Chains A and B, each alone.
Chain A
Amino acid sequence: MISFELSEERQIVRSTIAEFGRSVLRPQARRLDTDSRIDDGVLTQLWSTGVIQAQAGAADDEVGARSPVTNAIVLEELGAADATVAVAMASTMGFVQAIADQGSAEQRSKLLAGFTGDRFQGAAVAMMEPRFGFDVSEFATVAAKAGDGYVVRGVKAMTPLASRCSHFLVIAQSDGAADAFIVSRDAAGVTVAEPKGALGLRALEMAEVTFDNVAVPSAMRLGEGNGADIQRIIDSARVGIAAILTGLSRGVMEYVIPYTKERVVHGVPLAQKQIIAFNIADMHIDVEAMRWLNWRAAWELEVRQPATKTAQLAYTYASQQAMRIADDGLQAFGGHGFVKAHPLELWYRNARTLSVLEGVAGV
């Protein structure tokens, strides 16, 4: 039966992560950006939310334990506090979810235990590639059959926290189709480059990872003999980024409202100027639109309906609107918007970066 009500459990998750974001993450966001590094203390704090561990440790029959909708809720709240940390969470979450959803019994038991401990454990889905014209329907990275296993060759780009990952889920062409391979960071032939720096999400230390003829046993092909549904991993990633963009946009709106009520221009508060008031109304409408469209995509993933179309629309729409909202938010602050005394310029850079994280949005 149609319902737009969040369960009590999800409401608790939402308010808990929101409070964590407000009190713990938001105050540190500027420092992380300046340092271009998420320090271990913040990662430990992030880990202490228990979100990843709950998903990694959930039994297969535990209803709702691995819920794309709940993940979208969590990532929106983290995105509202600091999109950089939210992507760090989403990255590991994407890896864990792919293993939990699509891994063989042995892969789940062998790998997921590593994500149930007390210390931050990074991992990433290595999908993007450093070439013009890249799109997720075709990968230059290849996994060639060799004896009982595979040999993986290629370069992956913009991998979050690459140097601190224990594993990568490498998406590669294999036997004419996209497939996924679990590769340990320590495997021979894996090299993580120095981060090159970026406009936004600076603390994420996104880096290229080279796989130079890395031997991967068949047991580490995701899903083993059955292979994996790569599109589902892509859909999940899009829903994750759209959720973070929704949170980022909401953060901008919530920051702009009190300022425009206090800031007086030509004798009246900015908020009473229609151009500002209507911008804020549009932000509110667009954030809701982003959220509902994305929750619909997340729900389709959750009930295992085809989600590709909705997930793509949700990501593209969220990318466009978040850039506009970040821009309007910065504009509302005028000169204060592009100085570091306020987080608007940081959020603006992060929105711009998230919007191209999967290549050229909309193409």
Chain B
Amino acid sequence: MDFTLSDDHETLRDSAHVFLDKEVDLSPLLKPGAMVADADYDGLWKKIVDLGWPGMVVPEAYGGLGLDYVDLIMIVGEMGRTLAPAPLFGTLAGVWTILAAGSEAQKTDLLGAVVGGNLTLALAIADADGSYEAPGCGVTAEAVEGGYRLTGSKSFVVDAASADKIIVAAVVGGERRYFVIDRGAPGLEVELLAWRDITRQVGAVRLDKVPAELLSGDDADVWPFVRDRLYLVLAAESAAGARAALDQAVEYAKQRIAFGRPIGAFQAIKHQLAEIAGQGECADVAVQYAAWALSEGDPRASLAVAMAQGYNSEAYCDATHRNIQVFGAIGFTWEMKNHLYYKRARCNAELLGAPATQREQVIQIVEREAA
């Protein structure tokens, strides 16, 4: 057992830290009525492409960097720490779906384009009621000569508006399968949802006989593979976000004077900060353990990522709630970043199902192991 991050991991994290501190500018979002459109979503992405991050989880065989999941959380954590608005989540979701479901030719073609910085992706799988359950009912696929046509709607699609191609889960022959459509295809409409986390672009898609290409994988293999990795992404964002909320609150508690003393000297404040610190340490270890388990192909990986996502999203909510409490009224204003973290935390705890969903998975896995 060794909790040491390698020099490579630390270098990766530190370089992402410096880059994002320099490039992420949340100030356009700190005004009443700001929307995700104000976040320079695509501008930051161009700089991210220059760093090669779109291809970080693409295997070297397809031209990518082939980084492992511990490497991944170094970068994703920094994205979460800074609330960097960019279509990384959607592209990662698309890459993992193609890896799990695509043919060799599809992988070579699509993943190669991602690595080259010429393709952004999104994954449309949740129905309008937020369900990820198979087979789903939102979109059906009809076989036509030369391919398929998709009709229906999906919701909670992260990065749909920025994507060049969207991977859509659709029902064909009673089963859920995965199809690739062009963002500009006729019959496709993308509507941005009034998602409260304005650092992340979330939309609904409506499809009317949209031409589509089938990916060959079965759902039983695909969604658990993708979901586990997206859990890791959210858990890493949440752990780093909770740490940022703590750091900001500690800094403020040392400066703000009340009744002649820094407010951090009062137990009512310092105990809250200690509580976040404890949860933050657990969240860090949880995400590192989950990343390690995925990298090693450890049989505990699915349990580890479900626990990490359930625990970390709640810890993040708690940290950002207490963060605003420590800042008091000023933490409640548009011009402070606190509300952006609070909303990201809240949305991370819902995006792939509430913590109750992960608890159900934990129970199912524990039950299977006990049997």
Contacts and interface: CB of A to CB of B under 8 A. Distances in A.
Interface of A: 1-7, 10, 69, 257, 277-278, 280-282, 284-285, 288-289, 292-293, 295-296, 299-300, 303, 309-310, 313, 316-317, 362-363
Given A278-B356, A289-B311, A6 B281 contact: no
Nearest to B370: A257
A281 B288 contact: no
Across chains A and B, which 10 residue pairs bring their CB atoms closest together, nearest first? Answer: A281-B359, A292-B285, A289-B282, A281-B362, A313-B278, A317-B278, A285-B307, A3-B2, A281-B363, A4-B292
Interface stretch (B3-11, B37-45, B58-66, B335-343): B3-11
- Most chain B CB within a 10 A radius of its CB, from A280, A292, A317: A292
B126 to A, nearest CB: 22
B23 interface: no
Contacts of B277: 309, 313
Contacts of B370: 257
B285 A293 contact: yes
Contact of B4 (A1, A285, A317, A363): A1
A95 B307 CA distance: 36
A293 B310 contact: no
B285 A296 contact: yes
**What is the interface of chain A mostly: helix, strand, loop, or mixed?**
helix
A299 B278 contact: no
A359 B370 CA distance: 37
A284 B286 CA distance: 13
Interface in B338-371: 356, 359-360, 362-363, 366, 370
Given A257-B370, A292-B285, A362-B274, A2 B307 contact: no
Contact of A317 (B1, B282, B298, B359): B282
A293 B360 contact: no
A278 B361 CA distance: 10
Given A4-B289, A299-B2, A362-B274, A313 B281 contact: yes
Given A4-B293, A281-B360, A310-B281, 9 more contacts: A2-B4, A2-B6, A2-B292, A277-B359, A295-B1, A299-B3, A313-B278, A316-B274, A317-B278
Contact of A2 (B9, B298, B356): B9
A2 B296 CA distance: 11
Interface residues of B, number: 34
The residue in B1, B274, B363 that gathers the most chain A C-beta atoms within 10 A of its C-beta is B1
B307 A284 contact: yes
A3 B281 contact: no
Residue of B2, B267, B278 ringed by the most chain A CB atoms within 10 A: B278
B271 interface: yes
B39 to A, nearest CB: 33
A296 B3 contact: yes
A293 B360 CA distance: 23
B1 A69 contact: yes
B304 to A, nearest CB: 8
A313 B315 CA distance: 15
Contacts of B267: 363
Nearest to A318: B278
Contacts of B168: none
A140 B20 CA distance: 51
B293 to A, nearest CB: 7
A284 B362 contact: yes
9 contacts: A2-B4, A2-B5, A3-B1, A281-B362, A289-B285, A292-B289, A293-B281, A317-B279, A362-B271
B192 interface: no
A281 B366 CA distance: 8
A284 B289 CA distance: 15
Contacts of A289: 282, 285-286, 307, 311
Contact of A7 (B1, B271, B360, B366): B1
B281 A1 contact: no
Contact of A285 (B6, B293, B311): B311
A293 B278 CA distance: 9
B363 A277 contact: yes
